[in-house]
Amino acid sequence: MAPASEVYRDNPARQAQTCMLLRLFCYHDCMRKQVSFLASRTRLWLQNPVPFAVLVGAALLYVGALVSGLAEDVLDSDSIVLADGWLVHWLAAHRTPVGIGFFDAVSFLGNWQAAVVLIVAVVLLWNRRRRSALAMIVATTGSQIVVSLGKAGFGRPRPPAVLAAVTPLDASFPSGHSSISVALYALGFYLLFRSTRSPRLKRLWLALAFLFPLLIGFSRLYLGAHYLSDVLAGWGVGLWWSVLAMGVPGFARRRRTAKRQAADFRSRPNTAK
């Protein structure tokens, strides 16, 4: 029986496979180092208040443009309205009692009563992180004000009662539950993500930050309480206020740090000859 080295030397396919795996490993390691370098440089760059303000302002303008464009499409009855009607009818045809019970419980998390109770609990229990609690309060309150104004201004009717499993009373556009799912839950889990050192907990909080808005938003669609465009607009409103609630204090903190560093630099004695 031939030695393994001779078998490997006489097998070009296995040699090519080994070479390809080595190249892939080197490429992956190189890409990982480059991404790590770019991430560290980006974090360092964003410590400057001016680039940070530009980034936050661009995000606010972009999200605001998306929400306003969606509202214009709803007013003009564009293709999104056709998708709204089709999805409502399709979900009503495939709705089950078990699904109604589950998503009704999920939808309760987006009620303003549940949001108030959760905010009060955050304020009482998270007393060491008052800035984080204040950011959640500002984002949730601001988004609900915009949602109330939007409902009053657009006055869009809810989906037909024959297709709905619940009987909401107010207007449809935008969705208040969806805005709460982002401004309260997604923002809260993101703040936990930032304050946690454990990699496992970081992955958990980040996954929940995406999962909660998706579940609450889909629950409103499944129950026939909202159209798809309502949910998308609610997510946009909640995201806009979340960016604002985090961006303004972040800019103020970076500006104070920059001023303090500049003052320390000016106070140093000039040793140049």
User: Mean pLDDT by 10-residue block, N- to C-terminus, for the chain (273 residues)?
Assistant: 50 57 55 54 64 81 86 81 87 88 87 73 65 84 90 86 78 88 90 85 90 92 89 92 88 75 66 50
Residue 72 has what pLDDT? 84
pTM of structure:
0.78
Residue 154 has what pLDDT? 85
Residue 214 has what pLDDT? 93
Q: Counting Cβ atoms within 10 Å, is residue 221 exposed (0-12), middle (13-18) or buried (19+)?
A: buried
Distance of CA 48 to the CA centre of its chain: 24
Residue 155 has what pLDDT? 83
Q: Measuring CA to CA, which residue among 236, 240, 115 is closest to residue 175?
A: 236
